[in-house]
Chain A
Amino acid sequence: AQKITQTQPGMFVQEKEAVTLDCTYDTSDPSYGLFWYKQPSSGEMIFLIYQGSYDQQNATEGRYSLNFQKARKSANLVISASQLGDSAMYFCAMRENNFNKFYFGSGTKLNVKP
């Protein structure tokens, strides 16, 4: 079974609007971490935000927030007030804390329209 599923291969959003990128995960480990990375066309992977499985509150980092629904095993990334520079691939990832491995989803390509 897929550990991380991103069901949106591509998304469009109007500049200044909010957008939600979906991510569901599969694990039986009670302790895990969830990550979102941004990959612009230049190719570098940029760490955006982290959510621990025991964190009570949803993580926020500037315009990024993580909508963490533990019972549903979902960890959606919300980008508020989209900017043209947000156009990129976005990857959701998970690390099960008993292991050092990270599992990545297939990514969502976000295009921000002016």
Chain B
Amino acid sequence: DVKVTQSSRYLVKRTGEKVFLECVQDMDHENMFWYRQDPGLGLRLIYFSYDVKMKEKGDIPEGYSVSREKKERFSLILESASTNQTSMYLCASTGSGTGINEQFFGPGTRLTVL
């Protein structure tokens, strides 16, 4: 059973804290993504990575950074959390071979910044 896992389902942090969200996939996928989901806005891409140590900015990278030291793990870092980063964060992965290459998603982390 293929899987994308995220380190926490719910997280509460204080303004100014450094926050780490971890994502692990077991499908040997090259591509991994971090999205945030807000009501009425759908999923917005924060960063993605197409290989180890490679990263690309998405549509809303400000206030975030990422790390991909191993193929299976993609971390999202909030350097100094702010209340406007309160959101649902979704991690996804996809392969690059022939085929549909749909995105597989983790269960999400609901982050609240107080």
**Interchain CB contact under 8 A, B48 and A44:** no
Binding site for B on A (CB under 8 A): 4, 6, 9, 33, 35, 37, 43-45, 47, 50, 91, 93, 95, 100-102, 104-107
Given the complex, which residues of B lie within 8 Å of A105, measured CB to CB? Answer: 42
Shortest C-beta distance, A20 to chain B (Å), equals 19
What does DSSP make chain B's interface, helix, strand, loop or mixed? strand
Residues from chain B with a CB closer than 8 A to the CB of A100 are 31, 48, 50, 94, 96
What residues of chain B have their CB less than 8 Å away from a CB belonging to chain A?
31, 33, 35, 40-45, 48, 50, 58, 88, 90, 92, 94, 96, 100-105, 107-108, 110
Complex CA gap A104/B110 in Å reads 19
Complex CA gap A43/B43 in Å reads 12
